[in-house]
Amino acid sequence: MKILSRFVLIFVLLPALTGASARAGEDVLEATLDNGLRVLLLEDHRSPVVSFQVWYRVGSRNERPGATGLAHLLEHMMFKGTPTYGPRMFSTLVEQNGGQDNAFTSQDHTSYFVNVSADKLDLVVALESDRMRNLLLEPRDFESERQVVMEERRTRTEDDPEGFLGEELSAIAFVAHPYRSPIVGWMEDLRRLTVEELRAFYRTYYVPNNALVAVAGDFKAPELLEKIRRAFGPIPRAADPPPVTVAEPRQNGERRVTVKKEAQLPLVFIGYPVPNSRSPDAPALELLSTILSEGRSSRLYRRLVYEQQIALNAGGDYSYFSTDPNLFWFFATALPGQPPEALERALRQEVERLKTEPVSAIELERAKNQIEASFIFRQDSVYSRASLLARFELIGGWRLRDRFVPAIRAVTAADLQRVARAHFLDAGRNVGVLLPIPPSPPRS
């Protein structure tokens, strides 16, 4: 993910607001309410729209074994109404006022957003503050959404070869950390979850001191901060949620999983444990991800798809914003007639090439330009501006945003080679192979 802001909006420092300590710096007005709610406001007056986002510091990593899927199921239930706004009224009201709303659950966070015209912002503040505290969580809605999530799991994971193999690989790559469990949850857990467990999860994690409000768009930040304080401020602070203290043990040997699945083509995934953004190696890992997999000129696509003609697609991925150390992924889908062994061999050759051959100056500069360009172009969207502000805040502070591109620019070819040698280790390799099998004959 690539990001950057060069808009500088200067706010006059305000007197301390009742119920909040506020500071204005650079282009962001920041505040922390007395109940612990963190607020980041970014004015952008280019068009009369606003993206209002609420991020909760809870995802699948916060679930206990046997109760996977709670975070994602709760995301679904957040649209089921409160005593003030009845079932499904949240989205209905947003749509009636010309807005768009949605949400997503990740390993680390759950995010809710509404993009709406600036003159409808008061409605969104009221809706979001209400469901932070007063969600109904009715048993009938719980049963209904459980079925929806189970069907989502079937279509996106169990019936999807890439989702299926990715889940199997994560399950062997992590032996202790909750990243080993799927965000959607294991089917066995989804079947046995109770509404009481969901209510307890909501009470624990959906509290102001575990939440972040990030807003970008056409508003006056001091006025919006006061509205947020009035709406969210009365929600009482709760006990801080229990921290996730599990540290994944060092991997001491290659791990492999081979699965057979109804699919058209073989797949190969390879994952290596790598550090997250807190590591000084993170900018180099982000650049390696771009060099390997950003576009059709990337190394993996060019080598496996164009030159060797053994893959339908190939790429990689690095989770820069991951809360805990995660995996650097390599993947490839075979062309018809190509065996998975050829894909794995080619992927591993590209990994070794990173260790033995310095990246050329032209290739390195192109990757840096790609990251910076993407970083800047994303500023055309108020949604992206608020989202990226939140993402940097959640990994250590929104001001890290302005250090991202300079850190990328400082990476050298020698850094890339050193980082590849340090983290793409044979003893840390996790390999997943999916072998296609023909579909089962229909039952008569």
**Window from 23-32, 86-95, 392-401 with minimum mean pLDDT:** 23-32
Q: CATH 3.30.830.10 in the chain, residues?
A: 20-232, 255-437
Q: Work out the pLDDT band at 87, boundaries 50, 70, 90.
A: confident
Q: What is the pLDDT of residue 426?
A: 97
Residues ≥6 apart with Cβ < 8 Å to 105: 59, 60, 71, 72, 75, 183
Percent of the chain predicted with pLDDT > 90: 89
| Cα–Cα distance list, 158 to 76, 142, 167, 179, 237 (Å) | 20, 22, 9, 18, 40
Residues ≥6 apart with Cβ < 8 Å to 239: none
Q: Which CATH architecture has domain 255-437?
A: 2-Layer Sandwich (3.30)
Q: What is the pLDDT of residue 17?
A: 33
Q: How far apart are CA 167 and CA 271, in angstroms?
A: 12
Mean per-residue pLDDT over the chain, rounded: 92
**DSSP structure string for 295-363:** STTSHHIIIIIIIS--EEEEEEEE-TT-SS-EEEEEEEEEPTT--HHHHHHHHHHHHHHHHHSPPPHHH
Is the pLDDT confidence value at 19 over 50?
no
Catalytic site includes residue 365:
no
Mapping DSSP to helix (H, G, I), strand (E, B) and coil, where does residue 103 land?
Answer: strand
Q: What is the pLDDT of residue 444?
A: 54
Is the pLDDT confidence value at 13 over 50?
no
Q: Work out the pLDDT band at 297, boundaries 50, 70, 90.
A: confident
User: What stretch of H or E contains 383?
Assistant: helix 382-394
Could you say which of 30, 43, 63, 75 is catalytic? 75
Is the pLDDT confidence value at 6 over 50?
no
Bridge partners, 316 (sequence order) = 330
Q: Work out the pLDDT band at 294, boundaries 50, 70, 90.
A: confident
Is the pLDDT confidence value at 440 over 80?
no
Nearest to 339 by CA among 310, 374, 372, 362: 310
Q: Where are the beta strands (DSSP E) in 27-109?
A: 28-33, 38-43, 49-56, 100-105
Nearest to 78 by CA among 22, 163, 136: 136
Is the pLDDT confidence value at 8 over 50?
no
pLDDT digits (tens, 9 = 90+) for 38-60: 999 999 999 999 999 999 999 99
Q: Between these two residues, 441 and 354, which has the higher pLDDT value? A: 354
Percent of the chain predicted with pLDDT > 70: 93
Q: Between these two residues, 90 and 9, which has the higher pLDDT value? A: 90
Q: How far apart are CA 229 and CA 31, in angstroms?
A: 10
Which structure tokens are listed for 181?
A: 């469990």
At residue 217, φ and ψ (nearest 5 deg) are 145, -160
Q: What is the pLDDT of residue 237?
A: 98
**Window from 3-7, 87-91, 129-133, 224-228 with minimum mean pLDDT:** 3-7
Q: Tell me the pTM.
A: 0.91
Calculate ∠ Cα 317-321-327, nearest 5°.
Answer: 40
Q: How far apart are CA 141 and CA 337, in angstroms?
A: 47
Return contacts of 27-35, CB within 8 angstroms, 24+ apart.
28/389, 28/398, 29/221, 29/222, 29/225, 30/398, 31/225, 31/229, 33/208, 33/228, 33/229, 33/232, 33/233, 34/233, 34/237, 35/208, 35/209, 35/232, 35/233, 35/235, 35/236, 35/237
Which structure tokens are listed for 444?
A: 């008569």
Which structure tokens are listed for 311?
A: 């893959």
Q: Looking at residue 279, what DSSP letter applies?
A: S
pLDDT digits (tens, 9 = 90+) for 122-171: 999 999 999 999 999 999 999 999 999 999 999 999 999 999 999 999 99
Q: How far apart are the first and last CA of the chain?
A: 49
Q: Work out the pLDDT band at 110, boundaries 50, 70, 90.
A: very high
Q: Looking at residue 234, what DSSP letter applies?
A: T
Is the pLDDT confidence value at 403 over 70?
yes
Q: What is the pLDDT of residue 3?
A: 31
Q: Which CATH architecture has domain 20-232?
A: 2-Layer Sandwich (3.30)
Is the pLDDT confidence value at 381 over 60?
yes
CA torsion angle 76 79 84 85 (round to 10): -160
User: What stretch of H or E contains 165?
Assistant: helix 161-173
Q: Between these two residues, 430 and 294, which has the higher pLDDT value? A: 430
Q: Are 28 and 34 in contact (CB under 8 A)?
A: no
Q: What is the pLDDT of residue 128?
A: 98
Bridge partners, 434 (sequence order) = 259, 267
Q: What is the mean pLDDT of residues 389-417?
A: 97
